[in-house]
Structure 1
Amino acid sequence: MAHPRIGPAPGDGADTRLSPHLLALVREATLAGRVPPQAPRRVIGESWRRALRSGVDPDTGLRNWMLGPEEIEHRRRSTPLGQLLPVLSDGLVPVADAAWHIMVVSDAEGRLLWRDGSVAVRRSADRIGFLEGASWSEEVVGTNAIGTALVTRAPLQVHSAEHFVRSHHGWTCAAAPLHDPRDGRLLGVVDVSGPAAGVHPAMLSLVSAVARVAEAELRMRHWEAVERLRSIAAPLLSRIRGQALAVDTNGWTAAVTGTTPTERVALPAEVRAGRVWLPQLGLCELEPLPGGWLVRVGEREPAPGSRVVLDVSGPSNWTVTVTGEAGSWTQRLSPRHSELLFVLAEHPAGRTAAQLAGDLFGDPGRAVTVRAELSRLRRNLAGVLAHRPYRFADGVEVEVVRPCDPASLLPHSVAPAVLAARRQGRGAGDGG
């Protein structure tokens, strides 16, 4: 199926001066493959393309399977978002209620877990399925502030007919992603939604600011937990001969003995007690501690990996798995590190820092930023990455697991190298 060509527009800030009627004309013409009276915002146009590729019905969306009460409660208990709810509610619910809006918090899959605000607006939201347990991912309901912010990982306001599904055109939504400051993991989104007629240009700024305050609260709690672990671990480490560290469940160092302190140790995605290979430290023995792990360092030199699998097939969760003589080890990747490793996999001969800066930012002058990111990556992937030029080390077999649809490759990314890979993939898929 040939999708309509949706062109970019300068600037992606929500222009609430455009009338709902004009936005509807833009959407109708664009989805029909005609030249619209005005190009949609770039972020909206790209989201419409993704919705079309996913087969979302522009009139009704897709079937929205609701979570049951037990699953909703399980997800609430399983995420740090619950710790942030008081901060989010204090900062947004009074404003939302006064403006005839509601506040909604979703998890990283776009499932709505909490909802508060105007009772009348909540009743209206029920009629379009905007209620706890529903999925508001792009794959289900197309362009909307929650689902699209999860893809772009940036704050976003979606107004009226910028929504992909027609029944959502009476709404305006402002959302901001929420990240776990301990590991950068995307936790979900906080959103304020209400009638399109009540849109306020400052709402997105408010939602973004409250989201940052909530993340700061989580960061403060994290360091308090590290301090508690330090008080427990320090006496224990003083009695250990050799090298050992106490780290929290995310690898942040609380105490150390016999070795150079390191801010954080990269732990496997699934940590368990026993013998494990850690890239920065080599073979280690892990023992559980209250709130973390005791890491006893064995062989100091890390065993190099012989095979790397870079999995960028998903829309938001990317991993690198290293396999060698010491076993297998998997780590989640940040958006930037997923881009860097993808580019290095695409260039086996290697890239200079300036070339990588051009690949990622379109600006070779940002080489210092690239070197800093690669320094972090090389600490976590010791023996796998080489430099001068930057590349995967000789003898390392590299496999990249891509999405089935080339256009869905790292959908958050605007890196020139990733954009080019998407275009090349589409051309190959069309026989080009």
Structure 2
Amino acid sequence: MNDEPMDMARLSAMDARQASRVLSGVRAAALSGRRPPVTPRPVIGESWDRTLQYGVDPDRGSHPGLLALDEIEARRRSSPISSVLPTLRQGIVTAAGGARHIMVVTDAEGRMLWRDGSQAVQKQADGLGFELGASWAEEAVGTNAVGTALVARRPVQVHSAEHFVRRHHSWTCAAAPLHDPRDGRLLGVVDVSGPAASLHPATLALVSAVARLAESELRERHLAAIERLRAVAAPMLCRIGGRAVAVDRNGWTAAVTGMPPMNRLVLPRSLSAGQVRIPSFGLCTVEPLPDGWLVRAAEPRPDGGEACAEPSRVVLDLRMPRHWTLSVMGGTGSWTQDLTPRHAELLYVLARHREGRTAAQLALDLFGDSARTVTVRAELSRIRRTLAGVLDHRPYRFADGVGVELLTPADQTGLLPHSTAPAVVAGRSPGTG
């Protein structure tokens, strides 16, 4: 019996047949509830547990079918990843093709939108259902690099019988998530896959480095777009009286007048020109700009009327495995904010502790280390800039008078599955919902 988790270096030191035999024995023991001969890596063991709860067929998976070609094209056009495909191909495809691998790129749901590389390996991939439009989320096919990286929110390599589904045991894959640098939103993953015999421990490092390079390019593109918008908007704002701000389509500020500078303005999901209620601003006049908006805010009313109305109720929705939101209702209407993994964790803790938490308590809740207060304060500062009037401090808490509704999965074990925060892990226990 060996309680030390199997790592990729040990696997790569074995020949393909030996590694497959060892991992098959570990998987068989785990599925039958027996103690495995070798402990699976934590990221694999946790994924197997989730997959068992999903009820995925351990032999063939549970493929939900392929997307139609027009839907694939629509998702490609709407994905920021499309702009950095040349970077991904240049960094991966040339090397991957020669090594009998392919590169695939999925969206945040695990649907494959692009595939490139060795034609022979692509034909093998078709036989596994690893094709354009297919879902490789854990809920569909269990443990695999694409789906597990989407949940874990970090690079993952899955080899041979570490895959939950038996028909995938001839395969090895390494994937890294791609995030939108503007707001941390998960865009999808880039993955390198191929026959199990082609396992190389450096593959994960390659995929991770190329993913970071693509994110850096997205960040540079965003900054360049903001500069172009500022060049157009700044002269206009100089001629405008009162409070006004020029923002891009995602609310990032290019120029501002009549009010303190801000990084980002929370915009309604569906925004059009005219009279619109904007969170924290109230009734505003919105005008289109090239790739952005000019928002003219109403002046605050002396009697504290509608333009200054505070939020009265929030709904924190954590029911989905990869997408979490905070909806805010109040005198200025209602709006919904998508949450990053860290912000979802923080707001979950605050929703469970309406009396509030100090920075040290939150550091213990999130990291198991009460000394990590600087990180906590920085994250809460970011949240409070976006969620004006929703959060208070000293201690950190939802503001007085704001009703809070917390929505969690029916099966508490699916609560924020990516998270290792002690408070979230404790919240997955029965009876804590």
Give the TM-score range, shorter chain. over 0.9
1:420 alignment partner in structure 2: 426
Per-residue displacement from partner, 1:324-366 (whole Å, max 9, x unpaired)? 1121111111111111111000011111110000000000000
1:64 alignment partner in structure 2: 64
Distance (whole Å) between structure 2 residues aligned to residue 291 and residue 14 of structure 1: 48
2:362 alignment partner in structure 1: 356
What is the CA distance between 1:261 and its match in structure 2?
Answer: 1.7
Identity of aligned residues (%): 64
> In the TM superposition, what are the counterparts of 1:28-427 in structure 2 within 5 Å?
28-300=28-300, 302-425=308-431
Contact kept, 8 Å, 1:280 with 1:380, in 2: the verdict is: no
SS at 1:358's partner residue?
A: helix
What is the CA distance between 1:9 and its match in structure 2?
Answer: 6.2
Give the partner amino acid of 2:57. Answer: D
SS at 2:372's partner residue?
A: helix
What is the CA distance between 1:225 and its match in structure 2?
Answer: 1.0
What is the CA distance between 1:15 and its match in structure 2?
Answer: 4.5
> CA distance change for structure 1 residues 162 and 201 in 2, over 3 Å: closer, same or farther?
same
Contact kept, 8 Å, 2:112 with 2:131, in 1: the verdict is: yes
Distance (whole Å) between structure 1 residues aligned to residue 357 and residue 381 of structure 2: 15
Contact kept, 8 Å, 2:266 with 2:279, in 1: the verdict is: yes
Per-residue displacement from partner, 1:285-309 (whole Å, max 9, x unpaired)? 2222110110112144742111010
Per-residue displacement from partner, 1:209-229 (whole Å, max 9, x unpaired)? 001111111111111111111
> CA distance change for structure 1 residues 278 and 373 in 2, over 3 Å: closer, same or farther?
farther
Distance (whole Å) between structure 2 residues aligned to residue 332 and residue 404 of structure 1: 21
Count matched residues. 421
What is the CA distance between 1:14 and its match in structure 2?
Answer: 6.7
Distance (whole Å) between structure 2 residues aligned to residue 101 and residue 69 of structure 1: 24
**Cα RMSD after superposing both structures:** 1.8
1:3 alignment partner in structure 2: none
SS at 1:81's partner residue?
A: helix
Per-residue displacement from partner, 1:21-79 (whole Å, max 9, x unpaired)? 10110000110111110111111111111111111011010133111211111111121
Per-residue displacement from partner, 1:112-143 (whole Å, max 9, x unpaired)? 11111111111111111111111111011000
Contact kept, 8 Å, 1:182 with 1:222, in 2: the verdict is: yes
SS at 1:251's partner residue?
A: coil
Structure 1 segments unaligned to the other structure (5+ residues): 1-6
Distance (whole Å) between structure 2 residues aligned to residue 278 and residue 139 of structure 1: 37
> CA distance change for structure 1 residues 64 and 329 in 2, over 3 Å: closer, same or farther?
closer
What is the CA distance between 1:322 and its match in structure 2?
Answer: 0.8
SS at 1:46's partner residue?
A: helix
Give the partner amino acid of 2:61. Answer: G
Distance (whole Å) between structure 2 residues aligned to residue 134 and residue 213 of structure 1: 26
Give the partner amino acid of 1:333. Answer: L
> CA distance change for structure 1 residues 286 and 12 in 2, over 3 Å: closer, same or farther?
farther
> CA distance change for structure 1 residues 356 and 14 in 2, over 3 Å: closer, same or farther?
farther
> CA distance change for structure 1 residues 11 and 332 in 2, over 3 Å: closer, same or farther?
farther
What is the CA distance between 1:417 and its match in structure 2?
Answer: 0.3
Give the partner amino acid of 1:380. Answer: T
What is the CA distance between 1:408 and its match in structure 2?
Answer: 0.8
Distance (whole Å) between structure 2 residues aligned to residue 287 and residue 143 of structure 1: 47
Question: TM-score, with normalisation over the residues of structure 1?
Answer: 0.94
Contact kept, 8 Å, 2:279 with 2:332, in 1: the verdict is: no
Contact kept, 8 Å, 2:8 with 2:201, in 1: the verdict is: no
